[in-house]
Amino acid sequence: MAEFLQIHEPGETPMPHADDNVAVGIDLGTTNSLVAIAHDSAPEILRGSDGRGMVPSVVAYLDDEVIVGAGARPVLLDEPERVVASIKRLMGRGVEDLKTLGGKLPYDVDEAASKGGMVRLSIAGRSLTPVEISADILRALKVRAEEALDRDVDKAVITVPAYFDDAARAATKDAAKLAGLETLRLVNEPTAAALAYGLDKDVEGLYAVYDFGGGTFDISLLRMEMGVFQVLATGGDAQLGGDDLDHVVAEHFLAERTKELSDDGELTTTEVKNALMTARLAKECLTDQDQGKWMLGMDGQPTEHSLDRARFNDLISDIVDRTIKLSRDVLLEADIMPDEVKGVVLVGGSTRVPLVRERVAGLFGQEPLADINPDEVVALGAALQAEALTAGSNALLLDVTPLSLGIETMGGMVEKVIHRNTPIPVAKAQEFTTYKDGQTAMAIHALQGEREMADQNRSLARFELRGIPAMVAGAARIKVMFSVDADGLLTVSASEESTGLEAQVEVKPSYGLNDDDMARMLRESMQHGRSDMMERLLAEARVEGARMLLAFESALEVDGDLLEGDEKNLINRRIDELRSAMAGDDRDVINTAVDTLNKTTEGFASRRMDRDIRKALAGSSVEDIDGELANPEA
Partner 1 sequence: MSSNDNHKGEGHIHTHQDSPCWSCRGSVDQRAPFCHACGMIQAPRPGDEFQRLGMKADFDLDPKDLEKRYFAFQRKFHPDRFATKTSREKQLSLQHATDLNEAYDRLKAPLSRAEALLESKGAGKQDQARTESDPELLMEAMESREALADAETADEVAKLEARTRMEVEVSEEALSVAFAADDLEGATNIVTRLKYLLKLLQETSRKRLSLHN
**Helices and strands (DSSP H and E) totals, the chain:** 18, 26
The CB-of-336 to partner 1 minimum distance in angstroms stands at: 15
- For partner 1, the closer CB: 173 or 185: 185
The answer to the question of residue 601 lying near partner 1 (CB under 8 A) is: yes
Q: Which is nearer to partner 1, 583 or 629 (CB)?
A: 629
Q: Does 544 bind partner 1 (CB under 8 A)?
A: yes
Size of the site for partner 1 (CB under 8 A): 69
Q: CA angle, 260 as apex, 255 and 263 as ends, to 5°?
A: 75
Please give the single-letter amino acid code of residue 542. Answer: R
User: In angstroms, how far is CA 562 from the centroid of its own chain?
Assistant: 49
Of residues 556-595, which lie at the interface with partner 1 (CB under 8 A)? Answer: 558-559
Please say which residue, 48 or 627, places its beta carbon nearer to partner 1: 627
Distance CA 188, CA 209 (A): 11
Q: At closest approach, how far in Å is the CB of 408 from partner 1?
A: 24
Residues 86-125 that bind partner 1 (CB under 8 A): none
Instruction: Assess contact for 127 and 120: CB atoms under 8 A.
Output: yes
Active site residue 260: no
Nearer to partner 1, 11 or 565 (CB): 11
Interatomic CA distance for residues 572 and 102, integer angstroms: 69
- Does residue 529 bind partner 1 (CB under 8 A)? no
Provide, rounded to whole angstroms, the least separation between the CB of residue 599 and partner 1: 11
Residues sharing a CB contact under 8 Å with residue 15, sequence separation 6 or more, in sequence order:
21, 543, 546, 547
8 binding partner 1? (CB under 8 A): yes
- Report if residue 439 touches partner 1, rule: CB under 8 A: no
Residue of 132, 136, 154, 211 with catalytic role: 211
Peptide bond into 425 cis (omega under 30): yes
Give residues with Cβ within 8 angstroms of 130, minimum separation 6.
87, 88, 90, 91, 92, 93, 118, 119, 121, 171, 175
Please report how close the Cβ of residue 517 comes to partner 1 at its closest, in angstroms. Answer: 22
d(CA 577, CA 425): 40
- CA nearest 383: which of 136, 628, 148, 71? 148
Q: Does 631 bind partner 1 (CB under 8 A)?
A: yes
Minimum distance from residue 422 beta carbon to partner 1 (Å): 8
How far apart are CB 598 and partner 1 at their closest, in Å? 8
27 is catalytic: yes
Contact yes or no for 172/91 (Cβ under 8 A): yes
Q: Shortest gap between Cβ of 607 and partner 1 (angstroms)?
A: 10
Contact 142, 531 (CB under 8 A): no
Closest residue by Cα to residue 378 from 401, 400, 351: 351
Minimum CB distance to partner 1, residue 629 (Å):
4
Mark the segment that binds partner 1 (CB under 8 A) among 11-19, 82-90, 214-222, 282-290: 11-19
Whole-number Å distance between alpha carbons of 348 and 320: 14
**Three-state SS sequence of 214-261:** CCCEEEEEEEEECCEEEEEEEEEECCCCHHHHHHHHHHHHHHHHHHHH
Q: Which is nearer to partner 1, 341 or 397 (CB)?
A: 397
Asked whether the beta carbons of 189 and 160 are under 8 A apart, the reply is yes
Contact range with partner 1 by CB under 8 A, out of 5-13, 233-241, 273-281, 314-322:
5-13
Measured CA to CA, the distance from residue 123 to residue 140 in angstroms comes to: 19
> According to CB under 8 A, which one of 415, 425, 508, 596 is a site residue for partner 1?
425
Report if residue 19 touches partner 1, rule: CB under 8 A: no
Stretch that binds partner 1, among 69-77, 138-146, 572-580, 596-604 (CB under 8 A): 596-604
The DSSP bridge partners found for residue 458 are 448
Q: Distances from the Cα of 591 to the Cαs of 328, 439, 505, 538, 585, in angstroms?
A: 56, 45, 28, 10, 11
237 belongs to the catalytic site: no
- The single residue among 228, 255, 310, 473 that binds partner 1, judged by CB under 8 A, is 228
x/- track of binding to partner 1 for residues 382-401 (CB under 8 A): ---x--xxx-xxx-xxx---
Q: How many CB atoms lie within 10 A of CB 48?
A: 16
User: Given the DSSP bridges, would you call strands 66-68 and 205-212 parallel, antiparallel or unpaired?
Assistant: unpaired
Pick from 1, 98, 324, 426 the residue near partner 1 by CB under 8 A: 426
Q: Which residue in 357, 552, 574, 581 binds partner 1 (CB under 8 A)?
A: 552
Active site residue 517: no
State how far the Cα of 298 lies from the Cα of 138, in Å rounded to an integer.
33
Collect all residues with Cβ–Cβ distance below 8 Å to 562 and sequence separation of at least 6.
Answer: 604, 607, 608, 611
Catalytic one of 132, 136, 189, 243: 189
Alpha helices in 495-563 (DSSP H): 515-528, 533-559
The footprint of partner 1 on residues 178-207 (CB under 8 A) is 184-185
Query: Smaller CB distance to partner 1: residue 11 or 116?
Result: 11
Contact region with partner 1 (CB under 8 A), list: 8-16, 50-58, 307-315, 580-588: 8-16
11 binds partner 1 (CB under 8 A): yes
Looking at the Cβ atoms of 156 and 275, the one nearer to partner 1 is: 156
621 binds partner 1 (CB under 8 A): yes
Binding mask 475-494 toward partner 1 (x if CB under 8 A, else -) reads: --------x-xx--------
Contact 191, 221 (CB under 8 A): no
Catalytic residues: 27, 88, 189, 211
Q: Which residues bind partner 1 (CB under 8 A)?
A: 4-5, 7-13, 15, 21, 155, 184-185, 226, 228, 332, 385, 388-390, 392-394, 396-398, 422-427, 483, 485-486, 540, 543-544, 547-548, 550-552, 554-555, 558-559, 598, 601-602, 605, 608-609, 612-613, 616-617, 621-622, 625-633
